[in-house]
């Protein structure tokens, strides 16, 4: 690849080829083949479609795409008939697949009850099917990083080029100096999406300014947070976008060698990256004298062996060097002394995913999205007790409430939101009353959580906050590298205290001890794994202290999660005659109800004293 | 100006760019407690004991790894800094056996001292009472034992083994609370690439790695009226053992050492320097034969057992270069149980030979199956300098005020050449003094090799110039040996000592508060050399008589049988 003209020519040719395919009256069937789709059975679905097409002797283009974000609807299948709108079907089983082929592909009739949405403007006859723009899940999102995910075939560089891919790379290498590229990224306000939010342009500049005959650029794809899958989905759905971002970064800082450090537990992402790198080499986006600029770049994949701590940049580099993945003190920062002692720029997958957009559309356009301090968008893995789980990309500054109730569709019926856990195992739990908190780096930090890489778990009243804190701390404790004292020893002691609180053996003073230890670990740990490990505990103590107290003083788990603890009393709605005797004896006013109607006990107020149960004439009250 | 000015505890301190906060503080006379920090090793920043407070940001910083910056205002004694330090010590103690009574390091333990200094009490540790690490102690082999439960994971042993020795026998394994320091696959030292040099034990701040003690075996022998117990002391012991009794490193206490040993009940007290002279004669003649018969060079010394094991593990292809002369310890014991026994009319079966060494690898060396040339195990027990000091303390001897004693006779004469065996370069200098004089009748000028890393020299003997190299620390040795292996080495003679500075820096030496202890001990040995009347090994009258009466000639049949040994490649991981 020598010039922009050559790239645009190629893009036009590919465009013609793709258009020809459409004109050729060939139906196109696209199966969502991200890890999420495959886990839900997409391989079976794909096989069923192939068999059915063969049986019917239909000449159709059967292809694949990455994750579009609607995890709860997997497996997803798109059908596009020549000249018609592309229709997305959800939860497509083998039987559904057969039916879709027969009715839609052969019979030209959309299977309305399985269809979720249609692409395009909605100028279709069948108005029962909403367009993507009608879907709350999509119309509140702003997809910059995920623009191609779920749309194009991630194993086809042609489709990436046809969508405008590698144009930013060409622009940067041909018409911009490295300094101009860095200035553009700095102006865009892009900050690291790995969690800490360090200004990306500044990081590039620092690496560029360190003199060295050899520099490296590294993509941190060691996504280890439980429940987080932003990076995996992007790598599986649009690997070239990440690679393009890395090439631009490498050019800007003067690195000729790059590594993508990706966890071995992501075999599909690794395979698609391998394919993408081979294709990029074949097309001349990776190699020597790229676009005639004299700039050479080579890119390698390094598989991580599954240590959470290797997401920490100095541990990650130690791991690439073949050493045990253990963080080292900073300074020196990687921009000064990184991989093999050379200046190294290390960014997260999603950060690189933003780069091509900024170069192509300019810093202004990017800054128009998001807030002043936190520009652009953020991808979240929305999970837990929410109606629509999935992968979402929203402009910074959107509130948690908009994400959970707007995009996520709120809580399942009868459930009440209690807290949102954000930022992975090192993040914090944000209570219902702070749901109007805008999503940006500073607001989250002030609330005791952190942006983290983008995990977002919605919890309802069936969640015990002490137990949640214990769950996350157990994870970080067992993933601590064991190097520094506060993280290795301190988190263990915190975990033991949480264990005894959850088993009803909590002691007076345990909450204070947790606070003392937690703040000590945050302040004195060597790296940010330890530095943030106590966050789930500290934030739940901050917002749900009464739950801790109930466990310790009353030996009660309000959510009835912790085994061996007495739970709240509950009134059997079928047996209750609404006499009101219980209401009168309750010392805390926890029982409400209309006369002659079944009464209910507010479990937050219930002390488990049992007075109501003793009084009930029809034995409708029992402890859970 | 490359100077940085900062304030530490209201004191203005100026340091050069690149200095850490800890260095700046210590330069200003302010001590900050440390644990994982060691002046000879890279910075780890892992124990988090050296916390100080940055008064500008209220952040707590690990001072050992934080570069000093202009305008910094640091407090080493703010409430937050003191609390953080103390809490980290409490956390370490909450996962520690706290079995000080049963620990070899009680009294020299840095954790124990810090706990006392920082006012840590039982109650503040007990509030964290919970699970403790429970791993079986590792005591296979002869030289070193590990108690993983005492380990505080400071990583000093890992760094010493990797950085100074280039051996990397130890590393961290496991995650979180299960993290430990261990060998590859938890294998015993004998099956890994370990030189058993004991540098890990030398830097361990607690009792997690210590020598396998032979004190009780020695007491038993001393208590046995039927046993004739003979002791030899290595040259470097006389300049270091005084430290155990409060003297400065390098103080020469040869006479007190002899007196103490006699008081302990040893029947004969000798110096290994006698057999160091013997080694020089044998090895010197070996070198002479190599150069006169144009045999394969370089000649590589063999008196350091740590180096020998390292060679067997890592450079088995170079073993033919290694001198076959036994180490002074082994020559001594063999001669005691043969020549000395016969001459004194003692049944060698009733002789118990003890050596006091600055070294842990000597414990392995004495147990090598080939060292039975006297018909018995040649050396029965090896005590480190530290172990002997413990025995002296146990016996209640007032070491400092002992009246000087003298070595016993017929193997009691020593030379200056032998004394400097205890420091890097000493063997070379001693050997070349003899080689040159034997070949040409001329005296050798002082080589003045220095003490650190790899040093080289050229020595002219009979019109030919020989290239000499000396290395201490196995990582340094490896650099020389790689060249030999690749055929690129220009050297004719290479001396290797496993421990930095040679035996004065041995793994069995006293734990010193002084960072220059090794230099000062070396200076002590030089002083001895200069003050000795006889300074060349081949002038040692007792050695000369030994050849006349018993051995015949250097490299002769008897010498070969009793004073030379062989090596074997070891297949290790």
pTM to 2 decimal places = 0.91
Cis ω before A218 (30° cut-off from 0): no
Q: Euclidean distance between the first and final Cα of chain B, in Å?
A: 50
Across residues A200-206, what is the average pLDDT? Answer: 97
Contacts of B17 in chain A (CB under 8 A): none
Identify the active-site residue in B323, B355, B472, B537: B323
Short-list A48, A27, A63, A51, CA closest to A95? A48
Across residues B147-176, what is the average pLDDT? Answer: 96
Interface test with B, best of A512, A523, A527, A529 (most B CBs within 10 A): A523
> Above pLDDT 90, what percent of chain A?
76
**C-alpha to C-alpha distance for A61 and A42, rounded to whole angstroms:** 17
A483 touching B (Cβ < 8 Å): yes
Nearest CB among B80, B94, B179 relative to A482 is that of: B179
**C-alpha to C-alpha distance for A86 and A117, rounded to whole angstroms:** 9
Residue, of A565 and B427, whose pLDDT is higher: B427
B293 catalytic? Reply is no
Nearest CB among B43, B94, B155 relative to A493 is that of: B94
Residue, of A555 and B95, whose pLDDT is higher: B95
Least confident of A16-20, A277-281, B167-171, B232-236: A16-20
Short-list B570, B197, B174, B111, CA closest to B384? B197
Residue B294's contacts (CB-CB under 8 Å, 6 or more residues apart) are none
- pLDDT, position B474: 97
DSSP string, B176-189: GGG-EEE-GGG--G
Judged by CB atoms closer than 8 Å, whether chains meet at A483 and B174 is answered as: no
**C-alpha to C-alpha distance for B89 and A595, rounded to whole angstroms:** 62
Identify the active-site residue in B36, B50, B303, B359: B303
Written as six digits, the tokens of A528 are 């940010």
Neighbours of A624 (CB within 10 A): 11
Pair A325, B175: CB distance under 8 Å: no
Written as six digits, the tokens of B413 are 């004469």
Neighbours of A619 (CB within 10 A): 9
**C-alpha to C-alpha distance for A386 and A402, rounded to whole angstroms:** 13
Tallying the residues shown for chain A, one arrives at: 624
Judged by CB atoms closer than 8 Å, whether chains meet at B153 and A488 is answered as: yes
Contacts of A513 in chain B (CB under 8 A): 127
Judged by CB atoms closer than 8 Å, whether chains meet at B95 and A483 is answered as: no
Helix (H/G/I), strand (E/B), else coil: A17: helix
Judged by CB atoms closer than 8 Å, whether chains meet at B88 and A486 is answered as: yes
Residue A245's contacts (CB-CB under 8 Å, 6 or more residues apart) are A347, A351, A352, A353, A354, A355, A356
- pLDDT, position A623: 77
Is residue B380's pLDDT more than 90?
A: yes
Secondary element (H or E) of residue A502: helix A491-502
Residue, of A542 and A22, whose pLDDT is higher: A542
> Above pLDDT 90, what percent of chain B?
88
**C-alpha to C-alpha distance for B104 and B207, rounded to whole angstroms:** 6
CATH C-level class of A569-623: alpha beta
Kindly state the DSSP code that residue B51 receives in the 8-state scheme.
E
Pair A225, A424: CB distance under 8 Å: yes
pLDDT tens-digit map of A292-317: 999 999 999 999 988 999 999 999 99
Phi then psi for residue B226, to 5 deg, are -80, -15
Written as six digits, the tokens of B318 are 């170079």
**C-alpha to C-alpha distance for A383 and A393, rounded to whole angstroms:** 14
Is residue A211's pLDDT more than 70?
A: yes
Q: B2: pLDDT confidence band, cut at 50, 70 and 90?
A: confident
B63 catalytic? Reply is no
Instruction: Give per-residue burial for A499-520: e unless 16+ CB within 10 Å, then b.
Output: ebbbebebeeebbeebbbbbeb
Residue, of B508 and A446, whose pLDDT is higher: B508
Is residue A82's pLDDT more than 90?
A: no
- pLDDT, position A23: 60
A94 touching B (Cβ < 8 Å): no
Identify the active-site residue in B243, B365, B387, B413: B365
Across residues B213-226, what is the average pLDDT? Answer: 97
A488 touching B (Cβ < 8 Å): yes
**C-alpha to C-alpha distance for B366 and B381, rounded to whole angstroms:** 8
In total, the C-beta contacts within 8 angstroms joining chain A to chain B are 105
- pLDDT, position B139: 87
ipTM comes to: 0.92
Across residues B142-165, what is the average pLDDT? Answer: 96
Architecture of the domain made up of A165-367: 3-Layer(aba) Sandwich (3.40)
Is residue A596's pLDDT more than 80?
A: yes
Cis ω before A331 (30° cut-off from 0): yes
B553 catalytic? Reply is no
Short-list A378, A362, A264, A247, CA closest to A310? A264
**C-alpha to C-alpha distance for B35 and A484, rounded to whole angstroms:** 12
CA distances from B74 to A330, A547, B65, B171 (A): 18, 40, 14, 34
Least confident of A40-49, A360-369, B296-305, B442-451: B442-451
The DSSP bridge pattern shows strands A591-592 and A600-601 to be: antiparallel
Written as six digits, the tokens of A530 are 């330890």
Judged by CB atoms closer than 8 Å, whether chains meet at B48 and A331 is answered as: no
Least confident of A350-364, A408-422, B15-29, B143-157: A408-422
- pLDDT, position A543: 95
- pLDDT, position A195: 80
**C-alpha to C-alpha distance for B564 and B558, rounded to whole angstroms:** 10
Pair B72, B7: CB distance under 8 Å: yes
* Residue with token string 């390091």: B105
Secondary element (H or E) of residue A391: strand A390-395
Short-list A472, A588, A586, CA closest to A537? A472
**C-alpha to C-alpha distance for A44 and A97, rounded to whole angstroms:** 9
pLDDT tens-digit map of B442-484: 888 777 777 788 999 999 998 899 999 999 999 999 999 999 9
Short-list A580, A482, A475, A577, CA closest to A527? A482
- pLDDT, position A21: 66
Short-list B37, B111, B142, CA closest to B508? B142
Across residues B83-90, what is the average pLDDT? Answer: 97
Judged by CB atoms closer than 8 Å, whether chains meet at B176 and A492 is answered as: yes
- pLDDT, position B339: 95
Nearest CB among B46, B91, B95 relative to A483 is that of: B46
Pair B309, B195: CB distance under 8 Å: yes
A314 touching B (Cβ < 8 Å): no
Pair B311, B361: CB distance under 8 Å: no
Judged by CB atoms closer than 8 Å, whether chains meet at B48 and A525 is answered as: yes
- Dihedral over Cα of A145, A150, A156, A159: its sign: negative
CATH C-level class of A465-553: mainly alpha
**Residue of chain A minimizing CA distance to B155:** A483
B286 catalytic? Reply is yes
* Domains of chain B listed by start with CATH number: 144-211 (3.30.70.20), 215-563 (3.40.50.1780)
Short-list B455, B451, B393, B387, CA closest to B422? B451
Contacts of B44 in chain A (CB under 8 A): 328-329, 483
- How far from chain centre, in Å, is Cα A458? 13
B323 catalytic? Reply is yes
**C-alpha to C-alpha distance for A461 and B16, rounded to whole angstroms:** 59
Judged by CB atoms closer than 8 Å, whether chains meet at A526 and B130 is answered as: no
What is the arrangement of strands in the sheet containing B51-54, beginning at the earlier edge strand? Answer: B11-16, B3-8, B73-75, B51-54, B59-62
Identify the active-site residue in B56, B139, B220, B370: B370
**Residue of chain A minimizing CA distance to B35:** A485
- pLDDT, position B519: 95
Phi then psi for residue A471, to 5 deg, are -60, -50
pLDDT tens-digit map of A168-201: 999 999 999 999 999 999 999 999 998 889 999 9
CB neighbour class for A617 (10 Å; exposed up to 12, middle 13-18, buried from 19): exposed
Short-list A184, A54, A155, CA closest to A106? A54
CATH of A21-135, one of 1.20.1250.20, 3.40.50.720, 3.40.30.10, 3.40.50.300: 3.40.30.10
Written as six digits, the tokens of A193 are 């999406």
* Residue with token string 């800054």: A367
- pLDDT, position A450: 81
Pair B109, B100: CB distance under 8 Å: yes
**C-alpha to C-alpha distance for B523 and B542, rounded to whole angstroms:** 26
Residue, of B141 and A165, whose pLDDT is higher: A165
Identify the active-site residue in B23, B90, B214, B286: B286
Pair A334, A346: CB distance under 8 Å: yes
**Structural fold of domain A377-460:** Ubiquitin-like (UB roll) (3.10.20)
Nearest CB among A481, A489, A526 relative to B175 is that of: A481
Kindly state the DSSP code that residue A411 receives in the 8-state scheme.
P
pLDDT tens-digit map of B349-370: 999 999 999 999 999 999 999 9
Judged by CB atoms closer than 8 Å, whether chains meet at A485 and B46 is answered as: yes
Contacts of B128 in chain A (CB under 8 A): 489, 493
pLDDT tens-digit map of A404-421: 999 999 999 888 999 999
Least confident of A241-245, B86-90, B190-194, B233-237: B190-194
DSSP string, A529-596: HHHHTTHHHHHHHHHHHHHHHHHHHS-B-TTS-STTSB--EEE-TTT-----HHHHH-TT--EE--TT
A481 touching B (Cβ < 8 Å): yes
Across residues A323-331, what is the average pLDDT? Answer: 94
Q: How close, in Å, is residue B487 to chain A by CA atoms?
A: 29
Q: A22: pLDDT confidence band, cut at 50, 70 and 90?
A: low
Q: Where are the domains of chain A?
A: 21-135, 165-367, 377-460, 465-553, 569-623
- pLDDT, position A122: 58
Q: A226: pLDDT confidence band, cut at 50, 70 and 90?
A: confident
**C-alpha to C-alpha distance for A96 and B340, rounded to whole angstroms:** 98
pLDDT tens-digit map of B416-436: 888 998 999 999 999 999 999
Helix (H/G/I), strand (E/B), else coil: B556: coil
B456 catalytic? Reply is no
Pair A372, A345: CB distance under 8 Å: no
Judged by CB atoms closer than 8 Å, whether chains meet at A483 and B172 is answered as: yes
**C-alpha to C-alpha distance for A186 and A511, rounded to whole angstroms:** 43
Neighbours of B377 (CB within 10 A): 16
Is residue A443's pLDDT more than 80?
A: yes
pLDDT tens-digit map of A478-503: 999 999 999 999 999 999 999 999 99
pLDDT tens-digit map of B88-112: 999 999 999 999 998 999 999 999 9
Is residue A18's pLDDT more than 80?
A: no
């Amino acid at each position: 690849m020598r010039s922009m003209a050559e790239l645009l020519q190629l893009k036009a040719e590919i465009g013609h080829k793709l258009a020809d395919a459409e004109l050729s009256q060939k139906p196109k069937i696209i199966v969502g083949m991200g890890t999420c789709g495959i886990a839900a059975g997409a391989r079976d679905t794909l096989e069923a479609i192939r068999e059915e097409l063969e049986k019917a002797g239909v000449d159709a283009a059967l292809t694949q795409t990455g994750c579009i974000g609607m995890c709860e609807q997997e497996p997803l299948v798109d059908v596009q008939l020549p000249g018609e709108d592309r229709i997305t079907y959800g939860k497509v089983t083998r039987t559904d697949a057969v039916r879709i082929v027969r009715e839609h592909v052969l019979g030209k009739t959309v299977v309305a009850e399985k269809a979720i949405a249609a692409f395009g403007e909605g100028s279709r006859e069948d108005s029962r099917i909403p367009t993507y723009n009608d879907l709350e899940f999509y119309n509140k999102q702003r997809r910059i990083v995920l623009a191609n995910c779920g749309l194009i075939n991630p194993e086809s560089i042609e489709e990436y080029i046809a969508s405008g891919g590698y144009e930013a790379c060409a622009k940067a290498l041909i018409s911009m100096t490295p300094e101009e590229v860095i200035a553009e990224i700095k102006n865009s306000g892009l900050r690291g999406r790995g969690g800490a939010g360090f200004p990306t342009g500044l990081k590039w500049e620092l690496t560029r300014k360190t003199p060295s005959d050899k520099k490296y650029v590294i993509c941190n794809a060691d996504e280890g947070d439980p429940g987080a899958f932003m990076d995996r989905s992007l790598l599986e759905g649009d690997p070239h976008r990440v690679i393009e971002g890395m090439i631009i970064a490498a050019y800007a800082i003067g690195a000729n060698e790059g590594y993508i450090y990706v966890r071995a537990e992501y075999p599909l992402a690794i395979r698609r990256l391998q394919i993408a790198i081979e294709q990029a080499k074949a097309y001349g986006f990776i190699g020597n004298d790229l676009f005639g600029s004299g700039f050479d770049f080579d890119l390698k994949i390094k598989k991580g062996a599954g240590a959470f701590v290797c997401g920490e940049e100095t541990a990650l580099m130690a791991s690439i060097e073949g050493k045990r993945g253990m963080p080292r003190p900073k300074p020196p920062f990687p921009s000064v002394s990184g991989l093999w002692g050379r200046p190294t720029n290390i960014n997260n997958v999603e950060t690189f995913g933003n780069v091509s957009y900024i170069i192509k559309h300019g810093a202004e356009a990017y800054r128009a999205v998001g807030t002043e301090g936190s520009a652009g968008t953020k991808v979240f893995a929305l999970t837990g007790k929410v109606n629509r789980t999935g992968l979402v990309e929203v402009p910074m500054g959107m509130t948690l409430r908009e994400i959970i109730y707007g995009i996520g569709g709120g809580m399942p019926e009868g459930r009440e939101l209690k807290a949102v856990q954000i930022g992975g195992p090192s993040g914090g739990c944000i209570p219902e009353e702070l749901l109007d908190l805008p999503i940006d780096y500073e607001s989250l930090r002030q609330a005791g959580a952190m942006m983290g890489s983008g995990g977002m778990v919605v919890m309802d009243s069936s969640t015990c906050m002490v137990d949640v804190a214990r769950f996350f701390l157990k994870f970080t404790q067992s993933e601590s590298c064991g190097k520094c004292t506060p993280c290795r020893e301190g988190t263990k002691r915190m975990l033991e205290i949480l264990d005894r609180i959850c088993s009803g053996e909590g002691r007076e003073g345990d909450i204070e001890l947790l606070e003392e230890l937690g703040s000590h670990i945050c302040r004195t740990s060597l790296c940010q794994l330890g530095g943030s490990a106590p966050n789930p505990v500290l934030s739940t103590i901050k917002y749900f202290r009464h739950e801790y107290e109930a466990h310790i003083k009353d030996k009660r788990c309000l959510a009835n999660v912790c085994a061996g603890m007495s739970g709240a009393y509950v009134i059997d709605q079928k047996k209750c005659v609404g006499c009101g005797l219980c209401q009168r004896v309750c010392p805390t006013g926890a029982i409400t109800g209309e006369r002659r109607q079944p009464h209910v006990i507010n479990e937050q107020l219930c002390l488990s004293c049992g007075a109501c149960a003793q009084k009930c004439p029809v034995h409708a009250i029992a402890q859970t | 100006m490359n100077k940085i000015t900062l304030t530490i505890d209201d004191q203005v301190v100026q340091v050069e760019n690149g200095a850490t906060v800890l260095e700046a503080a210590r330069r200003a006379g302010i001590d900050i407690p440390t644990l994982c920090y060691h002046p000879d090793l890279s910075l780890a920043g892992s124990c988090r004991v050296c916390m100080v407070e940055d008064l500008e940001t209220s952040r707590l910083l690990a001072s050992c790894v934080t570069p000093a910056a202009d305008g910094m205002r640091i407090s080493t004694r703010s409430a937050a800094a003191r609390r953080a330090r103390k809490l980290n010590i409490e956390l370490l103690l909450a996962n520690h056996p706290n079995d000080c009574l049963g620990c070899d390091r009680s009294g020299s333990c840095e954790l124990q001292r810090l706990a006392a200094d920082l006012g840590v009490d039982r109650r503040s540790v007990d509030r964290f009472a919970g699970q403790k690490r429970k791993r079986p102690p590792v005591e296979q082999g002869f030289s070193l034992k590990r108690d993983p439960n005492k380990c505080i994971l400071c990583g000093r042993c890992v760094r010493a083994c990797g950085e100074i020795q280039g051996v990397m026998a130890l590393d961290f394994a496991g995650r979180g609370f299960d993290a430990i320091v261990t060998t590859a696959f938890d294998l015993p030292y004998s099956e890994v690439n370990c030189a058993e040099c004991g540098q890990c034990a030398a830097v361990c701040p607690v009792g997690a790695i210590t020598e396998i003690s032979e004190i009780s075996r020695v007491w038993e022998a001393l208590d046995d009226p039927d046993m004739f117990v003979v002791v030899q002391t290595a040259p470097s012991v006389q300049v270091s053992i005084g430290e155990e009794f409060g003297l400065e490193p390098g103080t020469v206490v040869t006479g007190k050492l002899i007196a103490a040993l006699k008081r302990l009940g040893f029947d004969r007290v000798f110096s290994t320097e006698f057999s160091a002279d013997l080694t020089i004669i044998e090895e010197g003649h070996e070198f002479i034969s190599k150069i006169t018969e144009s045999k394969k060079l370089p000649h590589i010394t063999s008196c350091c057992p740590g180096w020998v094991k390292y060679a067997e593990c890592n450079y088995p292809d170079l073993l033919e270069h290694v001198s076959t002369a036994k180490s002074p310890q082994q020559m001594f014991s063999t001669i005691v149980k043969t020549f000395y026994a016969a001459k004194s009319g003692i049944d060698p079966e009733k002789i118990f030979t003890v050596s006091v060494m600055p070294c842990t690898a000597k414990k392995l060396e004495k147990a090598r199956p080939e060292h039975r040339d006297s018909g018995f195990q040649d050396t029965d027990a090896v005590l480190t300098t530290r172990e002997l000091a413990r025995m002296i303390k146990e016996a209640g001897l007032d070491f400092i005020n002992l009246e000087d004693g003298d070595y016993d006779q017929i193997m009691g004469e020593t030379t200056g050449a032998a004394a400097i065996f205890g420091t890097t370069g000493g063997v070379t200098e001693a050997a070349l003094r003899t080689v040159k004089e034997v070949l040409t009748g001329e005296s050798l000028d002082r080589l003045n090799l220095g003490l650190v890393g790899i040093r080289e020299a050229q020595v002219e003997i009979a019109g030919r110039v020989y290239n000499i190299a000396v290395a201490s620390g196995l990582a340094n040795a490896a650099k020389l040996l790689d060249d030999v292996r690749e055929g690129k080495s220009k050297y004719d003679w290479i001396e290797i000592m496993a421990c930095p500075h040679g035996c004065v820096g041995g793994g069995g030496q006293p734990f010193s508060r002084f960072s220059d202890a090794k230099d000062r001990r070396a200076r002590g040995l030089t002083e001895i050399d200069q003050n000795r009347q006889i300074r060349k090994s081949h002038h040692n009258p007792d050695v000369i008589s030994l050849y006349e009466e018993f051995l015949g000639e250097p490299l002769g049949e008897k010498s070969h049988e009793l004073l030379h040994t062989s090596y074997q490649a070891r297949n290790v991981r």
